[in-house]
Amino acid sequence: MTGSPHPAGFSLVEEAWIPVLDATGRRRDVSLLGLFEQAGDVRMIACELPTQTFSILRLALAILHRATGGPHGETAWQALWRDRRLPTADIADYLGAFRDRFDLLHPKHPFYQVADLRAAKENTYRLERLIADVPNNMPFLTSRAGPGMDSITPAEAARWLVHCQAYDTSGIKTGAVGDPSARNGKGYPIGASSLGWLGGVYLEGTTLLETLLLNLVPIAPGWRVADERDLPVWEREPQTAAEEPDSTRGPYGPLSLYTWQSRRIRLFGDTTAVTGAMISNGDRFDWQDRHLLEPMSVWGRSGPREKETKRTPIYLPRPHDHSRALWRGLQTLLPSPPQAGAEPPQRLSPMVVQWLARLTVTGVVGSDFQARPHAVSITYGSKQSVIDEVFSDALTMNVLLLVEDSALRATAVDAAGDAEAAVKVLRRLAENLARAAGSRDIESGDGERAAERGYALLDRFFRDWLAHLGPDSDPPAERAAWQRLVLRAIGRLGRDLVAGAGPTAWAGRTGTDRAGREVHYSSSQADAWFRAGLAKALPMAAGAPNHRQEEAA
- Tell me: the pLDDT tens digits for 7-64? 569 999 999 999 999 988 999 999 999 999 999 999 999 999 999 999 999 999 999 9
What's the pLDDT score for residue 511? 79
Rounding to the nearest 10 degrees, give the CA dihedral for residues 392, 190, 182, 178: 70
44 within 8 A of 392, measured Cβ to Cβ: no
What's the pLDDT score for residue 223? 61
Phi, psi torsion values for 518, nearest 5 degrees = -80, 130
Report the alpha-carbon distance of residue 470 to residue 411 in Å, rounded.
12
What's the pLDDT score for residue 246? 87
Burial of 516 (0-12, 13-18, 19+ CB in 10 A): exposed
Radius of gyration of the chain (CA): 27
Question: Which residues contact residue 307 at a Cβ distance below 8 angstroms, ignoring those fewer than 6 apart?
Answer: none
CB atoms within 10 A of CB 258: 26
Residue ranges in the chain modelled with pLDDT below 70:
1-8, 133-148, 220-225, 338-340, 440-444, 542-553
Burial track 172-186 (b if 16+ CB lie within 10 A, e otherwise): ebbbbeebeebeeee
What's the pLDDT score for residue 139? 43
Strands 315-317 and 274-281: unpaired
What is the helix (H) or strand (E) element at residue 257, kind and residue range?
helix 254-258
Residue 504 CA, distance from chain mean position: 47
The residue extents of the domains of the chain are 18-281, 407-537
407-537 is classed CATH 3.40.50.300:
no
What's the pLDDT score for residue 338? 67
Residue type, 315: Y
Residue 120 CA, distance from chain mean position: 38
What's the pLDDT score for residue 549? 44
Report the alpha-carbon distance of residue 461 to residue 190 in Å, rounded.
43
pTM, 2 dp: 0.92
| Average pLDDT across the chain, whole number | 90
> What are the strands, taking DSSP E only, across 188-262?
200-203
Length of the chain as a residue count: 553
Report the alpha-carbon distance of residue 181 to residue 163 in Å, rounded.
24
